[in-house]
C-alpha cells in the first residue's frame, strides 16, 4: 500500500498498481486504509524492537565472551 499525498486536498491511494482518489472512496474503505496504515506502523515498530534486541543480545554475548576469557 502506498499513499501519495502530493495534493493534500485530494490524496491518491496507489494499491496493486492502481490509483484511487481517497476522497471518492467509501467510509468503509477509508477505515480499512487507516487500519492498514496502523498495522504497517506497528510492524515497523516491532521490526525496530527486534533489531534493538538482536544488537543487545550480541553485545551481551560479547561481554560474556570477554569475561570468560579473563577466567582462562
- Domain map of the chain by residue range? 2-71
**pLDDT at site 5:** 47
Which residues, given as ranges, of the chain have pLDDT below 70? Answer: 1-8
pLDDT for 9: 83
CA dihedral of residues 14, 15, 18, 20 (deg, nearest 10): -60
pLDDT of amino acid 4: 54
Rounded Cα gap, residues 11 and 8, in angstroms:
5
**DSSP β-bridge partners for residue 19:** 14
**What is the per-residue pLDDT for 46?**
98
pLDDT of residue 72: 82
Amino acid at each position: 500500500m502506498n499513499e501519495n499525498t502530493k495534493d493534500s486536498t485530494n490524496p491518491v491511494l496507489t494499491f496493486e498498481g492502481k490509483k484511487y482518489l481517497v476522497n471518492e472512496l467509501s467510509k468503509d474503505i477509508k477505515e480499512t486504509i487507516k487500519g492498514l496504515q496502523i498495522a504497517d506502523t506497528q510492524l515497523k515498530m516491532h521490526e525496530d524492537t527486534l533489531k534493538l534486541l538482536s544488537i543487545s543480545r550480541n553485545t551481551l554475548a560479547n561481554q560474556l565472551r570477554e569475561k570468560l576469557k579473563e577466567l582462562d
